[in-house]
Chains A and B, each alone.
Chain A
Amino acid sequence: MTSAAPAPAPPAQRTPGPLVEARGLVKAFGDFTAVAGIDVAVARGEAFGFLGPNGAGKSSTMRMIGCVSPPTAGTLRVLGADPVRDGSAIRARLGVVPQRDTLDEELTVRENVLVYARYFGLSRARARAKAAELLEFAQLTDRADDKVEPLSGGMKRRLTIARALVNDPEVLLLDEPTTGLDPQARHVLWDKLFRLKRQGVTLVLTTHYMDEAEQLCDRLVVMDGGRIVAEGSPRQLIERYSTREVLELRLAAEPGGEEVARAAEVLAGGAGRTEVLPDRLLVYTDDADAVAAEAERRGIAVLSALTRRSTLEDVFLHLTGRTLVD
């Protein structure tokens, strides 16, 4: 894989100020409020993430930014313009990777890119050249003349991304780009997205994968119930909402019993926050080894102890809770 990703728009065309700017942005469907007033600003060249559980309002936000869903209230500017009035002109400069693929499965891989290029008004010759370049970038050249239907999920996703780049977009919107893919496919995609970012394409993505957010995002917001509950770089969020390390203890004592609660209380004294889970006791601390030693000194019967660095997942669970959202 040596081919370059498409170059971003020339500087002459560039919009000053944030590429995406939302103030008090609301999206309601009847009585249900999907997005309950959010403020967001995405700068050029940034990789910006919306992180949140299902139903947090991420996709609704992305559809509004993609100019295919009129906001209910608040203001939204994309590339400096109003999505409702100038939707068509804005979309001409966006690349969209929707949550559900909109590939034409009965057309070939190449035809999918060609048709999409036509939607942006590329000439046939230009579309053909662009398709060849993008399929190379997406490692799909070998499958260019195969139908889309039998391709793997990862290939379809790469094709969707290739297609979204056909107009050399200034902003690439990716709604859960790697959901449902196996680890290899995810890493290949991350590699592609990272290349685009390096070349100056502004990425706006949603995900509920913490590793994805840590890998790709310069800055992110955590959404829950249609609101933004935290904002910052992955590192800042970990510093602010978690500790440097986490100690995960499995105790010999009966889960949920008195003894566990007492152990949690004892260890919290020296460390800070603890969390009692059905099968584990989590201690959030800056020095997990010291807490482990303390537990031993206090005679707490430990079956296993795992020391790890705090991750965005800890932040996420702390902010949005452990309740399952379906």
Chain B
Amino acid sequence: MALQLSAHRPRPGAGVARAYSFWLLNYRRNFLGSAISSFLAPALFLASMGLGLGSLVDSGADPALGVPYVAFVAPGVLAATAMQTGVMCSTFPVMTAMKWQRQYHAMIATPLTVLDVLLAHLAYTATRVLLAAGVFLAVASALGAVPSPWALLALPAAVLTGLAHAAPVAAFSAGQETDSGFILLFRLVVTPMFLFSGTFFPAQDLPAGLEQLAYATPLWHGVDLSRDLALGAPDAGSAVLHVAYLALWAAVGAVLTRRTMARRLLR
């Protein structure tokens, strides 16, 4: 009998695709709001930071950062947007599916496994990051903030950056009983990282200590990778290091999330 059951096991990945279809349906109901904000937010950022602040930064004879400020800041904000989108997808949606609407519980009562549930969530997160990054890149290009066609590779880099943050945050969210921890997460982790990880100015301008701290964040690696690509000057060595570091965060986060989910869903 066990043999017969095993023969009915779906091919690998089928479960992920099935669980993923839930997230797409779920996304459809707030697609418009999300699409508008993923267009507006970067447009506003680029206008105020890149063009407004940029006119001050670039007021000397040569651009202070070697390139026009808008071209410096655009890939930074691209990576930061990827990070924020990743974190967004891994906080309230995870809480909702674990506790409020319990969609995860519904999933694991079916042939889906915890691994399917986890991978589908990450796949959905990757989709959302890709959409947000794509819109951002289009807006930035239209504003002339993206000088190099290498910038297209900043899209997969953005997805990796999103996952490097989404996976560990999902591990955190999956273990929470209330949403109160999210406020701390946003205030103490996400916002400082957003501001100080080389997004708006080079991390080397930070005081010693803080500078090293910035290098330890996955966001700094995402920003640096994104910037190298957007400015058309990728260095293979540092790109590999950035990718490996981001992948490590994503992988460790995924392992931790799987463990926490299994602990809660398969009591």
Which A residues fall within an 8 A CB radius of B?
A: 15, 29, 63, 66, 68-70, 79-82, 85-92, 94, 96, 98, 100-107, 111, 114-116, 118-121, 167
Contacts and interface: CB of A to CB of B under 8 A. Distances in A.
A165 to B, nearest CB: 13
A262 B46 CA distance: 92
A150 B94 CA distance: 23
16 contacts: A69-B266, A70-B266, A80-B2, A86-B2, A86-B6, A96-B109, A102-B109, A104-B26, A104-B101, A104-B103, A105-B101, A116-B106, A118-B18, A119-B107, A119-B110, A121-B18
B14 interface: yes
A88 B112 contact: yes
Given A70-B266, A121-B18, A91 B110 contact: yes
Closest 4 CB pairs of A and B: A80-B1, A89-B5, A119-B110, A102-B106
B2 to A, nearest CB: 5
Interface in B4-53: 5-6, 8-10, 14-15, 18-19, 21-22, 25-26, 29
B141 interface: no
Given A69-B267, A89-B9, A107 B111 contact: no
B105 interface: yes
A60 to B, nearest CB: 9
What does DSSP make chain A's interface, helix, strand, loop or mixed? loop
B21 A118 contact: yes
Contact of A119 (B18, B101, B102): B18
Contacts of B8: 89, 92
A141 to B, nearest CB: 21
Contacts, number: 93
Nearest to A147: B29
A81 B102 CA distance: 27
Contacts of A106: 26, 29, 101
Interface of B: 1-2, 5-6, 8-10, 14-15, 18-19, 21-22, 25-26, 29, 101-103, 105-113, 265-267
A90 B112 CA distance: 11
A208 to B, nearest CB: 22
A107 B112 contact: no
B2 A81 contact: yes
B105 to A, nearest CB: 5
Contacts of A82: 2
A87 B1 CA distance: 13
A116 B110 contact: yes
Contacts of A111: 25
Given A81-B2, A82-B2, A89-B6, A118 B106 contact: no
A262 B109 CA distance: 56
B10 A121 contact: yes
A69 B110 CA distance: 13
Greatest chain B CB density within 10 A among A15, A79, A81, A88 is at A88
Given A79-B1, A80-B1, A121 B266 contact: no
A46 B102 CA distance: 30
A308 B17 CA distance: 58
B109 A91 contact: yes
A128 B137 CA distance: 38
Given A68-B266, A82-B2, A86-B6, A120 B110 contact: yes
A234 B184 CA distance: 55
B149 to A, nearest CB: 38
Contacts of B2: 80-82, 85-86
Contacts of B6: 86, 89
B19 A119 contact: yes
Greatest chain B CB density within 10 A among A66, A68, A103, A105 is at A68
A15 B5 CA distance: 10
Contacts of B10: 121
A63 B112 contact: no
A121 B111 contact: yes
A90 B110 CA distance: 9
Given A68-B265, A119-B111, A98 B1 contact: no
Contacts of A79: 1, 5
Contacts of A68: 108-109, 265-266
Given A91-B109, A100-B102, A102-B102, A115 B1 contact: no
Contacts of A121: 10, 14, 18, 111
Contacts of B106: 102-104, 116, 119
A66 B22 contact: no
A94 B108 CA distance: 12
Greatest chain A CB density within 10 A among B14, B19, B25, B106 is at B106
Given A102-B106, A103-B101, 8 more contacts: A80-B1, A80-B2, A100-B102, A106-B101, A107-B29, A119-B18, A119-B110, A119-B111
